[in-house]
Structure 1
Amino acid sequence: MNERPSSSVIRPSGCPGLLRVVQALDGGICRIKLDGGAIQADQAEAVASAAERFAGGVIEATNRGNLQVRGIGLEHAALIEQLLAAGLGPRTPTGDDVRNLMLSPAAGIDRQMLFDTRPLAEQILVTLQTHQRFHELSAKFAVQLDGGEAMAMLEHHHDLWLSALVHDGEPWLAFGLAGTPLDEPAGRVPLAQGHALVVAVLELFLDLARPDQIRMRHLLAEIPMDEFMAQLTRRVPLQACLDWQRDMSNDGLHIGVHPQHDDRVYVGAAAPLGRLDAVMLREAAQLAREKGDGSLRFTPWQSLLLPNVCIEDADEVLAQLQTLGLLVSVDQPLAQLIACTGSSGCGKALADTKADARQLAEQLQRQGQTLKVHLSGCPRSCAAAHVAPATLLAVAPGRYNLYFRDATLPGFGALQAHNLTIEALGHWLDARPRSPLDA
């Protein structure tokens, strides 16, 4: 049951939550954490209604498969009440911040999955919210549970990641700390021990970390990995994970029509630059009710999926999503761009990144190019939890420094050009040879 918010139990944080509205230039922000990125049609309609009634109508899909409402006015308490009544709140007020468990958006339906991660995910989510000590974790502390799906975000770093493998016909979980499933794992456990492993890792982290060490990487910068693993092994039996190789996820599976493991399909469409309005969300929810299973799934690529659609309905569903203003093809330049809120809504941003991204998309369309570019209004990189192939870092209104991703360099990568306008960037990109940056 969702409990009402209480100011005495919600700890201070700069991150918005469902029970904590954080102020920005364009009003308050409320973040709604979705279990596994999934939301029922009636819940999505409740979000749309709340955004219309109590905010500016702007709804954002986040890079962790959640939703947030922007532009909230003085009636933020009424907005929270409406969302709680729709069943979108945590099990306990102090459990809201720690509901940071990311799954594949195709969990349970992906053709490549080794097993369905959702039962274990439900166990973990209940524990995160009801185990009082875990409420000491930072709102940024995050766990990933990967079932080996073809559609999986493997570039986001997590404090703890778990990834499916099959050994001698039995299900196991490889796991690692402060990284991704593309890294070398620290060990493996049988699937049945997955919940115990998560509890042991989190409790050990809290035992060892100082208050200022809010992420696993902060702790491991001071305590050697070998020492952490030695203490972990005393709490839960572990085995070495030899010859680990996570298959790369397939790009573009979050948009378009794709087969599931059964005889149905899911249909995906991207919110332009991560933004929906109330009409988009409400109509997508109704479409899910009519043509799918009555649910939507949001993805780390800021898109939404309608799962369990009959194949004969797929083209109609895709066309209706396009009519709503959603992007239905990876060939659309705007579908490959990421942009933060920008100076229209954030006091730290140096440029209107949303408007500049749309201008860039129009230029790329004219040039027949599709590039993966992240426009960031400041160095915090709020819109992208990974380093994009190309990053435009704002230095002034309408002007950016351009970086290309380079694994040997920190931050955004290698600096390519200074103080570019969007128009100059278009010319610069058009003149360069084709490269791995092209989507």
Structure 2
Amino acid sequence: MNERPVSNALRPSACPGLLRIVPALDGGICRIKLGGGSISSTQAKAVASAAEHFSSGAIEATNRANLQIRGIGCEQTALIESLLAAGLGPQNAAGDDVRNLMLSPSAGIDRKMLLDTRPLAERILATLQNHEPFHDLSAKFAVQLDGGEALAMLEHPHDLWLSAFVRDDEVRWAFGLAGCPTDTPAGSVALDDGHNLVVAVLELFLELARPEQTRMRHLLAEYSVEDFLSRLAGRLSFHAMTDWRRTEDSVVLHIGAHPQAQVGLVYVGAISPLGRLDPAMLRGAAQLASEFGDGSLRFTPWQSLLLPNVRNQHAAEVVERLEQLRFLCDPGQSLTRMIACTGSSGCGKGLAETKGDALQLATLLQRHGHALNVHLSGCPRSCAAAHIAPVTLLAVAPGHYDLYFRDAAQPGFGALHARNLTIEAVATLLDARSRSPLDA
């Protein structure tokens, strides 16, 4: 079913894929797109082996719930073939780029879910790969399905989002364009029309967008939302709505053990420090999934993973063994709240060694008893975080950062608070701010 990589089947893009390995300072990057963030333990072991044999061994959990292998050398074809043999590739070569569909990591097991989004997700992913016109979508064009789960990433903007809600005892899909489920919806459709909605929106986008308009937000800068919806109404029946908005639960639900909708079962969440795993960590987590769970792992937009369907009585042992593998399972650890891009060691645009600086900052904050959500970015592109973090450090030189605090009234990273700070100065300032009664 999987095709061998064919170079002329892939359009030019700076984004890595499974079939397109993109060069970086530390070697090639291969991105493995996971359906709904899920991977079997057998497949996870195949990723670990591929990283071990054909790269530096660096594996990354991404903020779109995918995996990346970094540091790939000259054996690119062997690496790709090993991943295809494990069933991790697209249904056809041209469909690799467009497999951009985000689900809640707890889809189908979350106690607050209104429905299981996975059947619809499988149908949408098949259409994205096999409907040839959709191969013209950008490798960054993305769709989100939210089933009302407590554990859901609601801050990442998507070109199209669908969010389940209840109105008059009927579950429907609210939907929106170029935003997040916490925005005011553009409209709603019946539950059975979810797939038709995605197809209609994507086909209309491709008909209207010029080649340089690769994202929905680019198109909506020329066409108003009202104009787009009026054209959509000719293809699909939907209801206008402005009186509903999605609320967000605490994201700490992705760390530690949490009860599932299924009685007697929990999922166990663990963070890979700064999104990095080595083959032993991934192989060990896969073994735990086989031994105590259902033989699958789920990666999350918080660069963490879940082991679903673990029996209550085994939760403590699974947590302990994950920690022995160097995963983080305690939300009180400062490092669980840190996000950092590859930095200058692997990216030519990075102005600082962000991962090393993040480790230093986490250690300093832990001494002060703080676990703050901090994002360290080596350049303004913000590759490591699709959302705006409460605190952002933007590198200006090795070991020096401008400090921003999130402010809804300010564009970009938010309000600039201080310039050209060392990591020690950042820690001192954040400690003082956390102790201030004005920020309580």
TM-score by length of 1: 0.98
Write out aligned runs for 1:369-384 (5 A).
Answer: 369-384=370-385
Question: Which residue in the other structure is 1:317 paired with?
Answer: 318
Matched residue type, 1:423: E
Matched, 1:367 2:368: yes
Write out aligned runs for 1:150-165 (5 A).
Answer: 150-165=150-165
Contact 2:64 2:102 in 1 (8 A): yes
Write out aligned runs for 1:92-241 (5 A).
Answer: 92-241=92-241
Contact 1:146 1:152 in 2 (8 A): yes
Question: Which residue in the other structure is 1:75 paired with?
Answer: 75
Contact 1:369 1:438 in 2 (8 A): no
Alpha-carbon separation, structure 2, partners of 1:370 and 1:438:
15
Question: Which residue in the other structure is 1:44 paired with?
Answer: 44
Shift of 1:414: 0.4
Alpha-carbon separation, structure 1, partners of 2:82 and 2:356:
32
Shift of 1:30: 0.1
Contact 2:184 2:242 in 1 (8 A): no
Shift of 1:433: 4.4
Question: Which residue in the other structure is 1:328 paired with?
Answer: 329
Alpha-carbon separation, structure 1, partners of 2:269 and 2:340:
20
CA RMSD of aligned residues (A): 1.3
Q: How many residues align?
A: 439
Write out aligned runs for 1:56-71 (5 A).
Answer: 56-71=56-71
Alpha-carbon separation, structure 2, partners of 1:420 and 1:195:
49
Shift of 1:436: 11
Alpha-carbon separation, structure 2, partners of 1:317 and 1:278:
18
Shift of 1:434: 4.0
Contact 2:405 2:415 in 1 (8 A): yes
Alpha-carbon separation, structure 2, partners of 1:377 and 1:306:
31
Alpha-carbon separation, structure 2, partners of 1:55 and 1:31:
13
Alpha-carbon separation, structure 1, partners of 2:433 and 2:45:
46
Contact 1:370 1:438 in 2 (8 A): no
Partner of 2:9, secondary structure, is: coil
Matched residue type, 1:396: A
Shift of 1:165: 1.2
Contact 2:159 2:177 in 1 (8 A): yes
- Name whichever of 233-242 and 136-145 sits farther off: 233-242
Question: Which residue in the other structure is 2:251 paired with?
Answer: 251
Alpha-carbon separation, structure 2, partners of 1:431 and 1:162:
41
Contact 1:270 1:302 in 2 (8 A): yes
Contact 1:399 1:421 in 2 (8 A): yes
Shift of 1:170: 2.4
Question: Which residue in the other structure is 2:289 paired with?
Answer: 288
Question: Which residue in the other structure is 1:23 paired with?
Answer: 23
Alpha-carbon separation, structure 2, partners of 1:223 and 1:100:
24
Question: Which residue in the other structure is 1:4 paired with?
Answer: 4
Question: Which residue in the other structure is 2:426 paired with?
Answer: 425
Contact 2:393 2:404 in 1 (8 A): yes
Gaps in structure 2 of 5+ consecutive residues: none
Matched residue type, 1:313: H
Alpha-carbon separation, structure 1, partners of 2:215 and 2:245:
25
Shift of 1:242: 4.5
Partner of 1:193, secondary structure, is: helix
Matched residue type, 1:7: S
Deviations 1:404-431 (A, max 9, x none): 0011111101000010000111111222
Contact 1:153 1:249 in 2 (8 A): no
Shift of 1:330: 1.0
Shift of 1:438: 8.7
Alpha-carbon separation, structure 2, partners of 1:391 and 1:373:
6
Alpha-carbon separation, structure 2, partners of 1:351 and 1:345:
10
Question: Which residue in the other structure is 1:86 paired with?
Answer: 86
Deviations 1:64-97 (A, max 9, x none): 0000000000001100000000000000101000
Question: Which residue in the other structure is 1:352 paired with?
Answer: 353
Deviations 1:351-404 (A, max 9, x none): 000000000001001111111100000000000000000000000000000000
Alpha-carbon separation, structure 2, partners of 1:157 and 1:438:
27
- Structure 1 vs Structure 2: percent identity of aligned residues? 70
Alpha-carbon separation, structure 2, partners of 1:251 and 1:75:
39
Matched residue type, 2:119: P
Matched residue type, 1:11: R
Distance 1:191-1:327 versus aligned 2 partners, 3 A rule: same
Contact 2:152 2:251 in 1 (8 A): no
- Name whichever of 312-321 and 429-438 sits farther off: 429-438
Partner of 1:253, secondary structure, is: helix
Shift of 1:218: 0.5
Alpha-carbon separation, structure 2, partners of 1:92 and 1:225:
33
Matched residue type, 1:377: G
Distance 1:412-1:242 versus aligned 2 partners, 3 A rule: closer
Distance 1:197-1:30 versus aligned 2 partners, 3 A rule: same
- Name whichever of 6-15 and 306-315 sits farther off: 6-15
Gaps in structure 1 of 5+ consecutive residues: none
Contact 2:186 2:242 in 1 (8 A): no
